[in-house]
Chain A
Amino acid sequence: MTELVAESACELAGNLVRGLDGGRLLALGLAADLHNVHGLALERDLGLVINNGRALANDLADAQDLARIVHGDRDLIHAIRDACARAYVLATGLADARDRDRATRAVVVDPGLTADRALAGARAYADARDLARRTASYLARDLTAARDRANGLAGDLTVARDRANAVSTEIKERDDQARPARPAVRVAWTAAGLLPRPDRIRYDLEYRSELEDMAAAGAGRRQQLWHAARLLSRSPLLRVELTGARRRQAAQ
């Protein structure tokens, strides 16, 4: 279970790193594009970045939960929490920039436009563009920082996953060692099957218990098999004893 969580956390962290890197590149490209004004492209790209920012914030919220479960490292959890909060702020800031851009363009395309209003609209539009460019630059910078943190998280989670895998393997090996060998169990079951019907279940359970004890004490398959073989070889004698005891009991 733990290794599954670690595995998914690791996978999520890897996805985050890739997502953050993609977001950073997108933001850098957007900041560069914002030097040239293309209203429609700005609208579309901002929408994309806003969505990415929100998805990023949600992923980081998930990562925060997983980091809490898997890792428990306070600094790491705080770093993700901060990145998460920043991603939400960025998404909100970009949404504001988009709204301003929309409002500016609405003024620019107004057919009943006067020269003063057109000038004011153009200035507002230029301001909005500058604001969007600056926001995109900040976004790129913050996403770079978030990506670095996510990289650290991915590294930590990889270590945690490897450790969880190692622990899981150890437990499985210990369980396998502590479990009776199947052939021995089958032979013991056969030995119990040769006994009088009323005694079969009791001896089957008793033989199983012995094999469990042997396995827990570190007895190998061969030793368990020998034990079961001896049980089997003594079954006819045990049968005689059990039958005799029952006869004596009936005679009394």
Chain B
Amino acid sequence: MSKQSGPRMTLPTQLVLRALLAEPAQEMYGLQICGEAGLPSGTIHPILARLEGFGWLESRWEDTDPSQQGRPRRRYYKLSQAGALRARHALDHANAPISGIPALRSRPAGGPA
């Protein structure tokens, strides 16, 4: 039924995409993306799932031994090549004048400094 070729460009989605596009080659985990996007922690999983569902985003488990690290493995996200191109294009055509919007929240604990 849905003829959508890409995800809805809500304001939080744009913030997430901008955070991911800042360094497209770098993988980021959920809390890190929250911090970079200025979104409250715990709010981005639907957005990430949407982007992943459209093939814009790739994710994988951190390649470490949790017993050695002393913490569970993180889930890392990265824009796919096609996703990065589409994201740039979508942001260019997005209606919301996102530049100048301050971060919605202060960075969550656990995110990057």
**Residues in chain A within 8 A of chain B (CB atoms):** 202-203, 205-206, 208-210, 212-219, 223, 226-231, 234, 237-238, 240-242, 244-246, 248-249
Determine if B97 is an interface residue (Cβ-Cβ < 8 Å): no
Tell whether, in the assembled complex, residue B110 and residue A219 are in contact, meaning their CB atoms are under 8 Å apart.
Answer: yes
Q: Which of B26-43 contact A (CB under 8 A)?
A: 29-31, 40-43
Docked Cα-Cα span, A246 to B71, in Å, equals 30
Partner pick for B73 among A209, A215, A223, A242, CB 8 A cutoff: A209
Tell whether, in the assembled complex, residue A213 and residue B74 are in contact, meaning their CB atoms are under 8 Å apart.
Answer: yes
- 25 residue pairs of the A-B complex, CB under 8 angstroms, read A205-B75, A206-B30, A206-B45, A210-B31, A210-B110, A213-B29, A213-B31, A214-B41, A214-B108, A216-B71, A216-B110, A217-B109, A217-B110, A219-B108, A219-B110, A226-B42, A229-B42, A231-B45, A234-B42, A237-B46, A238-B46, A240-B46, A241-B50, A245-B52, A248-B54
Docked Cα-Cα span, A242 to B31, in Å, equals 20
Determine if B98 is an interface residue (Cβ-Cβ < 8 Å): no
Docked Cα-Cα span, A228 to B43, in Å, equals 10
Total interface residues on B, using CB and 8 Å? 24
B100 to chain A minimum Cβ distance, whole angstroms, is 25
Docked Cα-Cα span, A55 to B75, in Å, equals 61
Chain B residues positioned under 8 Å from A241 (CB to CB)? 46, 49-50, 53
